[in-house]
Amino acid sequence: MQLNNRHTWNLSPKEAIALQKTLADEIIYDVSVSLDDVRSVAGVDVSVKQGISQAAIVVCTFPQLEVIEVVTAQMPTPFPYISGLLSFREGPVLVQAFEQLQHEPDVFIFDGMGRIHPRYIGIASHMGLWLQKPTIGCGKTHLLGDYQMPAAEKGSYSPLFHHGEQLGVVLRTRTNVKPVFISPGHLIDIPSALALTLACTPRYRLPRPIRLAHQHAGDYSISSSQASMRSNNPSNTQSG
């Protein structure tokens, strides 16, 4: 898959924040996406073990949600864990994985945030600029914003606001189970992101593409050579 390469990843935290503020102005979050036009959806996740990151992308048919492609990529984790800067920790290995894709998904769902972010550019939004495809953020925990807890039934949701602007929704994907935090990443609006997420979540709390990506991202062991690579990577000496 061809990517829209936007910048180098070799940045300090201060430089990364400045770049986020610049890129956030380019995010498009008011595009309606019809489910009738979606033929495939990809789930995106990254796992980190002992300083080694593995990205996984699982492409599924839509609406059947049958797997048609799985790609993974692995590298020493290049950036410390800092809240709000997840894309700089996971972006480089995701780029390697995206470049391997033989299928070009219509929509990408990320295990992480979209516009629900202090600078309105979570990983789904940031990587959306590289992909130039509709992207959705599906976060498991509250990062910021005010909301009312949605009703207990599957499909219930409530708007999430930050500084008076609606950034996404808090969605109950399974009855009597904790909700998830859905927001547009890039090239999609809130109603479309909500509808697509629900359509991709037939049974469990997380959308099926993300559940599968999470399984593949975590399916690796650390060899002695990888551990040596990790110990020689200065960024991994920093604590988040």
Q: Give pLDDT tens digits for 19-77.
A: 999 999 999 999 999 999 999 999 999 999 999 999 999 999 999 999 999 999 999 99
- Which superfamily is assigned to 22-220 in CATH? archaeoglobus fulgidus dsm 4304 superfamily (3.30.2170.10)
Q: So where are the chain's domains?
A: 22-220
- Quick one: average pLDDT of 219-229? 60
Q: Give a three-class secondary structure readout of the chain.
A: CCCCCCCCCCCCHHHHHHHHHHHHHHCCCCCCCCHHHCCEEEEEEEEEECCEEEEEEEEEECCCCCEEEEEEEEEECCCCCCCCCHHHHHHHHHHHHHCCCCCCCCEEEECCCCCCCCCCCCHHHHHHHHHCCCEEEEECCCCCCECCCCCCCCCCEEEEEECCEEEEEEECCCCCCCCEEEEEEECCCHHHHHHHHHHCCCCCCCCHHHHHHHHHHCCCCCCHHHHHHHHCCHHHHCCC
Percent of the chain exceeding pLDDT 70 equals 92
pTM: 0.91
Percent of the chain exceeding pLDDT 90 equals 90
> How many other CB atoms are found less than 10 A from the CB of residue 189?
15
Burial classification of residue 6, based on how many CB atoms lie within 10 Å of its CB (0-12 exposed, 13-18 middle, 19 or more buried): middle
Q: Which two tokens stand for residue 23?
A: 């890129």
pLDDT for 233: 53
Give me the residues paired with residue 41 across strands: 60, 107
Higher pLDDT, 200 or 237: 200
Work out the mean pLDDT of the chain and round it to a whole number. 93
What residue has token string 């000496």?
Answer: 237
- Quick one: average pLDDT of 195-214? 97
Q: Give pLDDT tens digits for 94-113.
A: 999 999 999 999 999 999 99
